[in-house]
Amino acid sequence: MSVLLLTHRACLHHDPGPHHPECPDRLRSVLKALDAGEFVDLIRDQAPLATVEQLTRVHPENYVSAILAIRPEPDETVALDGDTVMSWGSAEAALRAAGASIAAVDAVMKGEFRRAFCATRPPGHHCEPARPMGFCLFANAAIAARHAQAVHGARRVAIVDFDVHHGNGTQACFEADGSIFYGSSHQWPLYPGTGDAAEHGVGNILNVPLPPGADGEAFRAAWVDHIIPAVEAFAPDLLVISAGFDAHAADPLAQLRVREVDFAYLTEALCALADRCCEGRVVSMLEGGYDLEALGRSTAAHVRALMRA
């Protein structure tokens, strides 16, 4: 089976303003990289709009209503905090990003595809249940996991996160719920200041912090020696990947030294893990990555590995 690629033009209309690192050109770079001839076999589809019901499996209804009510004029923006900004197109973009994660889960859980990748923005892993944060408006990976449980009967879902920043939002959604596993490698110290190795939730959280300057070998070891064995022991029915590429050596917001080959290696290892424990079901979604050229190359390496595995 081929890999499903979900995206939507509306995700380009979320514009936090000039010089903001989470810019529309990030998605343009990703889509340009995936337009290469080697990706002709990707099955491409439009990301639907998430519904309020789907969002409120994770977020309180008053939070969802408040975010969707923010509709600035085309030449204006609204700052939710020092990093997180909404423009006229942000609400729809956020609904499409969450909707992509839901559609990807539907396709994979129904057996239509074994793997799916969501090329959308804004990202999601910093968004807490009732707090936008770190460029994120809705917790897309968390929404995907809850949808798999509510609609497809998944008993356990594992979310794994290789973004250079800890996914504090995803962890906050599930740290008291043993039916969801969250595993993350990330640079420490670094924004948002969470993700200490001592944070275990109810035994369902595994954080593997990496020091500034850690290279691909250390990155691989975090996963092969720690996170992948823990996911396998958890035995999920679905594997969700928060695929951030800002651990790349060229990224301006962090200091790890990971390369495209390391992202490809990890993707293949995660697909092999999924083959062993959840019939190969993998849903991956774009998180960070702020050097445009490195982001395009790294995403291509990730999707190439999804297709090959």
Yes or no: say if 30 and 295 are a contact pair by the CB < 8 Å rule.
yes
Q: Determine if the peptide bond prior to 24 is cis (ω within 30°).
A: no
Gap between the Cα atoms of 184 and 55, Å rounded: 23
- Cβ neighbors of 53 (< 8 A, separation 6 or more) are none
Catalytic residue among 125, 126, 165, 186: 126
Distance CA 246, CA 30 (A): 13
What is the separation of C-alpha 123 from the centre of its chain, rounded to a whole number of angstroms?
6
Angle at 147 between CA 200 and CA 240, to 5 degrees: 55
- 195 half-sphere exposure, CB direction, 13 A CA radius: 29
186 in catalytic set: no
Burial class of 134 by CB neighbour count within 10 A (0 to 12, 13 to 18, 19+): buried
Q: What angle do CA 47, 157, 205 make, to 5 degrees?
A: 115
CA 93, distance to chain mean position in Å, is 15
List, by residue number, the catalytic residues. Answer: 126
